[in-house]
Structure 1
Amino acid sequence: MDRTFTVDEARALLPSIMADAAELIAARADLAEIAFDREHSGTSPLGGLAEIKAIEARMEEILSRWNGHGLEVKGIAPVLLDFPASFDGVPVYLCWIEGETSLSWFHRADLGFPGRRRLP
């Protein structure tokens, strides 16, 4: 873990993370629709290769920004992000998944998502 967050630091960053996540989710849906349309009818009302490349570039920009903040991106469908942290010297991740409206969960670094617990 290069950077560790306090709960307050992670929560302060969450509004911008959620705004980026909303954009990433829309881009993810657009890519799925374009791919489906192109496969089944050859074209898509959402565009073609140029639009695909632009959407992918925007998604990569968001993911790079999250990585630059020190977050670990665990998935994009659904969006799953971990904020490295430490509780009493034990490495943990503050965990946020698409659809949650707050940062309320953590798990030990060695347990992953199945070990999620509510923040005290």
Structure 2
Amino acid sequence: MFSYFTTNEANAALPDVIKKFESALGKKNEIAKIEQQLQITVSSTNSFEEYVNLKQKLNSAITKFYESVEILENTGVVVKSIDQGLLDFPSKRFDEEVWLCWKYGETEIKFWHEKDSGFMGRKPIEVSDESLV
């Protein structure tokens, strides 16, 4: 279900969001490992059986990754980049829709940006910024 986040609501949700993000990131890293194993298998063996087993393992890992992204986005956040660790929380500033922006490693929501500007357009949230819903 869609909803806008206030800064306080986003910060309250952040521990759960971080846990779910880390789960998705771990699944993405697992995919990279299997892909590497697959490349090695292709170039170093003639065994179809080993290749097919790894390919099936990769398919399963990809499915689990996308399921973890869906679970993460069901919290209300939007994944902008797993690789860069960027998530946005929909919010409003006065009557304008904006994103509350979080980057992996940050312990709280400290930035926001307009809909059409990305990470480079981040602006700090002022302590007294009551304009964000």
Structure-to-structure mapping, 1:80-91, within 5 angstroms: 80-91=86-97
Task: Give CA deviations for 1:48-103 in whole Å, capped at 9, x if unaligned.
Answer: 23432332222222211233232211111123111000112222101112222222
Task: Give the deviation of 1:6 after TM superposition.
Answer: 0.7
Task: Give the deviation of 1:24 after TM superposition.
Answer: 1.6
Alpha-carbon spacing, 1:95–1:68, altered in 2? closer, same or farther (3 Å): same
More relative contact order, 1 or 2 (CA 8 Å, 6+ apart): 2
After superposing on structure 2, the runs of 4+ consecutive aligned residues of structure 1 that deviate more than 4 Å are none
Structure 2 equivalent of residue 105 of structure 1: 111
Give the structure-2-normalised TM-score: 0.75
Say if 2:112 and 2:125, in contact at 8 Å, map to a contact too: yes
- Residue segments in structure 1 that go unaligned for 5+ positions in a row: none
Structure 1 equivalent of residue 19 of structure 2: 19
Structure 2 equivalent of residue 76 of structure 1: 82
* Residue 92 (structure 2) pairs with residue 94 (structure 1): no
Give the structure-1-normalised TM-score: 0.82
Report % sequence identity. 28
Q: Tell me, in whole angstroms, the C-alpha distance in 1 between the residues paired with 2:78 and 2:69.
A: 9
The RMSD of aligned alpha carbons is 2.1
Task: Give the deviation of 1:33 after TM superposition.
Answer: 1.4
- Residue segments in structure 2 that go unaligned for 5+ positions in a row: 127-133
**What SS does the corresponding residue of 2:74 show, helix, strand or coil?**
helix
Which protein is bigger by CA-based radius of gyration?
2
**What SS does the corresponding residue of 2:113 show, helix, strand or coil?**
strand
